[in-house]
Each structure stands twice: as structure tokens, then as C-alpha cells.
Amino acid sequence: MKQRLLFLGPPGAGKGTQAQHLAESRGLLHLSTGDLLRGEVAAGTPLGQEAKTVMARGELVSDALVLAIVRSRLKQQAQAGGGGWLLDGFPRNVAQADALAALLEELGQQIELVVLMELDDAVLVQRLLARGRADDNESVIRHRLEVYRQQTEPLIAYYRERDLLAPVEAAGSVDAIAERIAAVIG
């Protein structure tokens, strides 16, 4: 079974739901940069204050900030004896992907599979509107999709070239999608 995984896909594709489910059932560390950032915002830390307005606009928080969060968690886990992990919402652009590659090289670890969750825009927008999070109003959603197209989508080719990409159809029930993901992870 592959146990060092990235979840890639547009906002609303259900990465968080599936990642949480998979991490629990297989004992992997689940790192969602969105959740970690929202935690910082809720706790009112300086980092959270910096991230808050950027997130509310649907823009990406600075690479340095996000990378510092991921670096400390992965190092902590490696020092505690290692194990599998699942990164959800990171990397989100090529600079973050390059930084992750350098970090993993440092830790002597490798990405084993990139699960790409694919879904139509119309369904994405409907799901996000139904979710109703602070940054889930229609104009911010449109902007997040735009940011995804411009900055995150190039990672599809990036990981395809590295022979790591596993596309999964993200339409249907939570259980049906979980089964498709389990099938590609092995």
C-alpha cells in the first residue's frame, strides 16, 4: 500500500472529506494546510492574522508561511519515527512543489502517489455554496477556481511527468469515491 500521498484537485472536489477518511482508516498523518491555517486564524496567532484577509479573498497565502507549517509537521513526524502521510491542499503551485521535493529529499522520503480528484466546475460551485464556509460566497468561489486554474493546475503536468499521477473521478457518493481512491492506492 502506498502511504506517502498528495491529494490534488479543485476546491470543492472533496479532498478534505476523502483525505480525512483515508488517513483515519490507514493510520496516516493528515496534513490539510487549509485546516491548519483556519486553526491559526481561529486562535488569533500572528500567522493567522496574516493569513485571514488573504484567505477571505480566495488568494493563496504566502509560500513561505505555508511551507513553514508543513516543514515543522513533517519533521516532527520523521523525528518521532516516521510513518505515512497525506498532504491535502499542499502543494498549490510549482514553487511549493519544488520546495516540498527539497524538504522530502532532506528527510530521505518520497511521494508515492498523487491522487487527482476530478470534477466539473458546475458541481464544484454547487458543493461549495452548500458548504457555506466563511470564504464560500459565489464571487470568492469563482476566484478560488480561477486561482486553481492558474497556479495549481500546472501541478497535474508536473506530477504526470514524474509518473506519480492517479486521476480519480470525484462524482458520486462519498463511499463510491473512497472505493475508487482505495483502488489506486492499493
The catalytic residue positions are: 15, 92, 131, 133, 144
State whether the Cα torsion 41-43-45-49 is positive or negative. Answer: positive
**At its nearest, how many Å lie between ligand ADP and the CB of residue 184?**
20
C-alpha distance from residue 141 to each of 121, 126, 129 (Å): 11, 10, 8
| CA pair distance 35, 109, nearest whole angstrom | 24
Ranked by CB distance to ligand ADP, the top (closest) residue is 34
Of 66 and 164, which has the nearer Cβ to ligand ADP?
66
Q: What is the largest CA-CA distance in the chain?
A: 44
**At its nearest, how many Å lie between ligand ADP and the CB of residue 38?**
7
| Residue 122 exposed, middle or buried by CB count within 10 Å (0-12, 13-18, 19+) | exposed
**At its nearest, how many Å lie between ligand ADP and the CB of residue 186?**
25
Of 49 and 183, which has the nearer Cβ to ligand ADP?
49
| Beta carbons within 8 Å of 181's beta carbon, 6+ residues apart | 18, 22, 115, 168
Residues that bind ligand ADP (CB under 6 A): 11, 33-34, 37, 54-55, 58-61, 66, 89-90, 92, 96, 144
Of 72 and 183, which has the nearer Cβ to ligand ADP?
72
